[in-house]
Structure 1
Amino acid sequence: MSKQTNILQILPATGWVAVYDESGEESAAALVCFALTETLDNGNKQQEVRPMCANGKRIVFADEITHFLRVEELSEFAEDEEDDEEEEDDAEA
């Protein structure tokens, strides 16, 4: 018997991004929403909240895209990027 996943509820994800590893560098993609899902696997039900993002003309689960690392608030990701740039500038000086 295969797994079946149903979306029970959609929640806004304003200000959140999915972070991916792109050849050793982190990149971020805006989330469209969070989905409360229920997966049925051999009679066992499991509920979890999963991130969703746009992939072309489709909305897909961000955690199923290759090189997915984590979900993070955009403001936190932007701060981390600024800190990395400052460290690179200091190293060059």
Structure 2
Amino acid sequence: MSKQTNILQILPANGWVAVYDESGEESAAALVCFALVETLDNGARQQEVRPMSADGKRIAFADEAANFVRVEELSEFEEDEEDEDEEEDAEA
């Protein structure tokens, strides 16, 4: 039997980003929404919330990208970036 995935509900993701590893550096892309997803796999049902982002002209599950790291609030990601910049300035 094959695995079937259905989106049950879409939730707004304002202020959230998907974080990706770009050759050792982290980059962020705004999330479009979160999706409540139900997967049916050999008769077993599982529900989870998954992040979705724009991929060109379509919307895709952000966590399916090979370089996906995590989901984070944009404000937290920006703070982490500022902390890293300050550390690099102190080392120079």
TM (norm. structure 2) is 0.99
Aligned to 1:8: 8
**One-letter identity of the residue aligned with 2:84:** D
Structure 2: how far apart are the matches of 1:14 and 1:73? 9
1:66, distance to aligned residue in structure 2 (A): 1.6
1:2, distance to aligned residue in structure 2 (A): 1.4
Q: Following TM superposition, where does structure 1 have runs of at least 4 consecutive aligned residues deviating by more than 2 angstroms?
A: none
* CA offsets 1:3-35 (integer angstroms, 9 cap, x no match): 110000000000000000000000000000000
What is the number of residues matched between the two proteins? 92
Structure 2: how far apart are the matches of 1:82 and 1:29? 17
Gaps of 5+ in 1: none
Structure 1: how far apart are the matches of 2:64 and 2:79? 26
RMSD: 0.4
Task: Note if 1:78 corresponds to 2:74.
Answer: no
1:82, distance to aligned residue in structure 2 (A): 0.2
Gaps of 5+ in 2: none
Identity across aligned pairs (percent)? 82
